[in-house]
Amino acid sequence: MTLVESGLGAASWNVLTDGVSRTLGLSFGWTTNLISLLVLLAWIPLRELPGLGTLLNVAIVGLAADATATVLPHPHGTPAAIGYLVLGLVALAFFDALYLGAQFGSGPRDGIMTGLVRLTGLPIAAVRTGIEITVATAGWLLGGTFGVGTVLVALCMGPLVGYFLPRMAVRLPTVAADARHNP
């Protein structure tokens, strides 16, 4: 929500959520949950599997967005708005990598990224940037909050997640390694 509240433009998925929210007349949080459920359908051709993290993401993110919006103060002045933007961008990338690295299942939006990375072999940065640009453009066409910050997020989110994720990922043993150690 710090990205939305910065007034400099929202994160790409938030632009889409804002545009759909305005179009349908739903709250930002409810629209977040609706988009989450619809995006899960895109997992079918990607053969992504849900996990506990997927369910928690669908259930909690929208509620947390609405709750945060009620308590987060509006930034006063350009320096505060830029601070919200930078803090929101880095926090979003860091916490995205943190929960993905736990390997309990990705959220709906991140499942698109992980599925495309797995299927195409392209780097996280390239896939994530393509997704960010696509959803920001769709949201902007629907009237979502768009600004210079949106462009910054769309171009930086992929490289930031690509940077943080390898550093946050829990290394799980492979089946072959387990078989060698536990005959």
The model's pLDDT over 130-162, given as tens digits with 9 standing for 90+, comes to 999 999 999 999 999 889 999 999 999 999 999
How far is it, in rounded angstroms, from Cα 1 to Cα 95? 14
Is residue 177 domain-resident? no
Query: For 3-7, 65-69, 103-107, 163-167, which range has the lowest pLDDT when averaged over its residues?
Result: 3-7
- The answer to whether residue 163 scores a pLDDT higher than 90 is yes
Whole-prediction pTM: 0.80
The predicted pLDDT at position 5 comes to 56
Across 76-113, b (16+ Cβ under 10 Å) vs e yields eeeeebeebbbebbeebbbebbebbbeeebbbbbbbbb
Say what percent of the chain tops pLDDT 70.
Answer: 90
Residue span of the structural domain in which 91 resides: 2-171
Closest CA to 165 of 109, 107, 112, 114: 114
Is residue 69 domain-resident? yes
pLDDT digits (tens, 9 = 90+) for 43-77: 999 999 889 888 887 778 777 777 877 888 888 88
Q: How many domains does the chain have?
A: 1
Is residue 29 domain-resident? yes
Q: Name every residue whose Cβ is closer than 8 Å to that of residue 80 and which is 6 or more positions away in sequence.
A: none
The predicted pLDDT at position 137 comes to 96
What pLDDT band is residue 4 in, cutting at 50, 70 and 90? low
Is residue 162 domain-resident? yes
The predicted pLDDT at position 28 comes to 84
